[in-house]
Structure 1
Amino acid sequence: MAAVEIKDLDVVFGNNQAQTLSLIDQGLSRQEILEKTGDVVGVQGASLSVNEGEICVLMGLSGSGKSSLLRAVNGLNAISRGSLEVQDGDNSVDLAHCNAPTLRHLRSKRISMVFQKFALMPWLSVVDNVAFGLEMQNVGKKERRRRALEKLEMVGLAEWQDKFPHELSGGMQQRVGLARAFTMDSDILLMDEPFSALDPLIRAQLQDELIELQERMKKTILFVSHDLDEALKIGSHIAIMESARIIQHGKPEDIVLNPSNAYVEDFVAHTNPLNVLRGRSLMTPVSEGERSGGSLTLNANENSEVLLEQGCPVGAKRGAESLTLTHWDESESLDKVGKDMLMVTTPEVSMRNAIELRYRSGQPVLLAEDDKLVGMLSDRDFYHALLGKHFTQSTDSEADAA
């Protein structure tokens, strides 16, 4: 079920909205509209569905409209045209037409926000900062302190409860902001570049912690970022914005493998695809492999093959020499993998781990689902993973020849 449903949304900042919307319909650019009306188009024609429990990352360069869209979800930016529906229990509330009491209800019960600049109150202790939203809801002191301490424990700051914000590092202050948002127990979290002001090591640590917390709490998160590596790491889906428009929305793998235009491709060109791609995306399906009776060729040059019974891998050999068929999943250590093992894993294996399996075993990697072989990853597929969208037909031919 969609927690947030956005359809044909426009957000315009200025005093000539009717004229500006008409110019948008005529196809004028943001700059042309600014020159004619003095209005700024923050979001134009945005349509986006965010399902319950997913992390959707809004990303793009500065001025692309990502924060403008995020702030429309809790009414901080007024909607000029279109609809933005937020699920509230069994009901759906359209922020384009909701009244002030309904908006207050959504902000206090349904939607919380984590800001880039922490937004902590310096005169309040850490625990009182975390409990502040509950105080605004008239929750009793004992109960709000209990809930605040519970969330501080969750983010590893229970021992700092009586300190003040200036006594904490930047990363610790951001954790307080996260704890405050989680304390409200809102189903939807809006996060506006919350880690961008932090140094790289702390930033990576908080990204990991957010992923871990999300696995436990299953919130719906809209996360603004200008960093594609961050978006690919934490996002269930990514919406890339340019000039106030959403130009591509999809799963991280889809964004990397199939950029919709040159703008997205430029983003993808500077990221590491191994952090995103899974074996299923790049494997050679069994149906395309070279078959001989009940076996599938692994490497024609080495005369190696895997033996199949009713589609299941049951043995392997290289010439007259047997290879050890070994099953592996990503919860296991890679240290068990040795030379001349033929590794079998799932199609969801990360390409980073698959390359490690290939390196340690010296053999292609088999991918099986419900015990049946569905594909394999050979050197050709690994080249594709490394080169991503730039894997050309000529490169393909050269890899096959090698």
Structure 2
Amino acid sequence: MITLSKVRVEHLTKVFGRRTQQALDLVKEGKSKQDILKETGATVGVHDVSFNVENGEVFVIMGLSGSGKSTLIRLINRLIEPTSGEVYIDDQEVSKMSKEDLREVRRSKMNMVFQNFGLFPQRTIQQNTEYGLEIRGVDKEERRKKAEEALDNSGLLSVKDQYPNQLSGGMQQRVGLARALANDPEVLLMDEAFSALDPLIRRDMQDDLLDLQERVQKTIIFITHDLDEALRIGDRIALMRDGKIMQIGTGEEILTHPANDFVREFTEDIDRSRVLTAENIMEPALISNVETDGPNVALQRMRKEEVSMLLAVDRKRHLKGSLTAEKALDARKNEKPLREVVEENVRKIQKDTLVTDIFDMIYNSPAPLAVVDEEDRVVGVVVRGSVIGAMADTGEVEENKSEATNENETTEDEGVDVDA
């Protein structure tokens, strides 16, 4: 079977203990992890987990302590042997490889970054970074170049001759990441890599990882118990509980369409403004093509939609500004084309702009914000009420949209009679 996925996991299961089959039977009966342990003495670490990770994707596996996330990542590189199921890297079945083949895959295709930095205190930063290449038998000059390149990518080249105890915790973790990248792995496994760092350093490391990923484009499987961290760095997230995956999706999908009550409760306290985007809260844009429409056409559209302003666009739906009823009336009275009365007071934002970033933009804006796609075409509009609603409570967004429409767009607020 040929697949574009870099990593493929199929029905992966791990039971710790002797009474494996009995434990699996109890899982199928819907017994809890705690009940199974009590009845059989066996612990279900991971049960029937399946997912794909695409090339260049940051795939985050998250859950509370005991959910099975760390067991799962160790099953992927076979630090733990699975009870059943398969793991594939580029369609090579890792779960059935010989020890020699597995060792080669770990050296050339996969590398792992742990929570504890694991640096050798007697070695310099350069020597620590070269370590993986050294045990692979890479020539001294080549491993020096590869290590320096990895350190440069991680912003550590200037400290290459220092020792680990001379660096902060965040910088030591950067060295651990650089050491993993020096081997040029195709798949990077990161197990709670930032959990031991204080919040400010942790956020810096998340930024560093995102910046680094833009440059090196590795396939990353990242383990965390922190939902904010998962939402910040993950292209997709797998949320685990008691060894099972509850839901896989983007941060937006998990927050806006939770698969069950557990996911809903797990995510209820998250700051949605840091995940929701303009595309989530935008309304359809009411527009006028000022290259083809005349004043009467624009005024008729305003009357029909019961608004006093339209977004002005060209034939390709590229934003030109705003067109108010007052300006359209002036154009009709003085026989001007609409393009001469357009006001350039509308800002545009991309569909993926975060709500938290929109707030400051729209706070003092005289007009709504135009949302544009990858080809710079207007696809929607964001009004102040939608942003406030999203910042306060996602469930109130729709209600706030209607209030914001009255505040920002109605003819009564503008004080213009479009029938004049």
Identify the TM-score tier after normalising by the shorter chain.
0.7 to 0.9
2 CA distance for matches of 1:393 and 1:375? 15
**1:151 Cα deviation after fit:** 1.2
Following superposition of structure 1 onto structure 2, how do residues 3-402 of structure 1 map, counting pairs within 5 Å? 3-87=6-90, 92-286=91-285, 293-294=297-298, 303-308=308-313, 310=315, 312=317, 313-321=319-327, 324-325=343-344, 341-369=345-373, 370-391=375-396
Contact 2:113 2:193 in 1 (8 A): yes
Q: CA shift at 1:309, angstroms?
A: 5.2
Letter of the 2:67 partner, please give it: S
Report the AA paired with residue 80 of structure 1. Answer: T
Partner deviation per Cα, 1:16-75 (whole Å, 9 max, x = no partner) = 223222322333221111112211111112111110101011111111111111111110
Q: Aligned-pair distance for 1:397?
A: 6.0
Larger radius of gyration: 2
Cα pair distance change 1:391/1:113, threshold 3 Å: same
Which residue type is aligned with residue 238 of structure 2?
A
Inter-partner Cα distance in structure 2 for 1:151 and 1:181: 9
Q: CA deviation at 1:147?
A: 1.4
Cα 1:371–1:196 change in 2 (3 A) is closer
How far apart are residue 187 of structure 1 and its match?
A: 0.5
| TM-score using structure 2 length | 0.83
Bigger helix share: 2
Structure whose residues are more often strand by fraction: 1
Query: Pairwise CA RMSD of aligned residues?
Result: 2.7
Asked if the contact 1:294/1:307 (under 8 Å) is kept, the reply is no
Is the partner of 1:50 in helix, strand or coil? strand
Rounded to whole Å, the distance in 2 between the matches of 1:316 and 1:395 is 22
Letter in 1 for 2:8: E
Unpaired runs of 5+ residues, structure 1, are 326-340
In the alignment, the residues of structure 2 paired with residue 58 and residue 172 of structure 1 have an alpha-carbon distance, to the nearest angstrom, of: 24
Q: Is the 1:323–1:342 Cα contact (8 Å) retained in structure 2?
A: no
Contact kept in structure 2, 1:282 and 1:384, CA below 8 Å:
no
Compute the displacement of 1:95 (Å). Answer: 2.6
Go from structure 1 to structure 2 and tell me whether the alpha carbon gap of 1:77 and 1:297 turns closer, same or farther (over 3 Å shift). farther
Q: Distance in 2 between matches of 1:226 and 1:352?
A: 23
Secondary structure class of the residue paired with 1:7: strand
Distance 2:208 2:113 in 1: 15
Contact residue 151 and residue 175 of structure 2 kept, 8 A: yes
Indicate the percent of aligned positions where both proteins have the same amino acid: 37
Deviation of 1:84 (Å): 1.4
Distance in structure 2 (CA, Å) of the matches to 1:386 and 1:175? 34
